[in-house]
């Protein structure tokens, strides 16, 4: 039987990620270390706000519609707070970390604070 020679696998070091991720109590906080821009993913923000992640997605979808990206929508209090804001880090600087093969939608810190404040004021503790 002839012997088969296998070439050694090419071991290329992975470049260090410019993203720093810290998960605390199931909430993922992200920082782009080259610029200091930071934010939270949609599910984490929803958890902080005490709502389902679909609520955050729907609000963002409606804000985009109202912005003219998709269509028209009547103005609401939350829309007015989100008006003219870049919601995702990818809009701010083309930044989006990759996790499990796909981009992660990171909501800009300023927008996270708007959501958190909005839901805190409406909570009935």
What would the pLDDT profile of 68-110 be if each residue is shown by its tens digit?
A: 544 444 457 888 888 888 899 887 666 677 777 778 889 999 9
How far CA 20 is from CA of 23, 54, 68, 101, in Å, comes to 10, 26, 33, 17
pTM confidence score:
0.74
- 46 pLDDT exceeds 50? yes
> Given this model, what pLDDT does residue 41 score?
93
Four-point Cα dihedral 44, 45, 47, 49, nearest 10: 170
The β-bridge partners of 22 are 29
Q: How many CB atoms lie within 10 A of CB 111?
A: 21
Q: Can you give the residue ranges of every domain in the chain?
A: 19-120
């Amino acid at each position: 039987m002839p012997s088969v020679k296998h070439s050694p696998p090419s071991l290329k070091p992975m470049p260090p990620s410019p993203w720093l991720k810290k998960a605390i109590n199931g909430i993922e906080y992200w920082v782009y270390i080259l610029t200091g821009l930071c934010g939270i993913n949609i599910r984490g923000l929803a958890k902080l706000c005490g709502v389902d992640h679909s609520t955050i997605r729907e609000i963002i979808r409606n804000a985009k519609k109202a912005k003219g990206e998709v269509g028209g929508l009547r103005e609401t209090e939350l829309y007015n707070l989100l008006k003219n804001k870049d919601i995702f880090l990818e809009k701010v600087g083309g930044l989006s970390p990759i996790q499990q093969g796909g981009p992660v939608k990171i909501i800009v810190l300023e927008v996270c604070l708007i959501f958190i404040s909005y839901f805190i004021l409406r909570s009935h503790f």
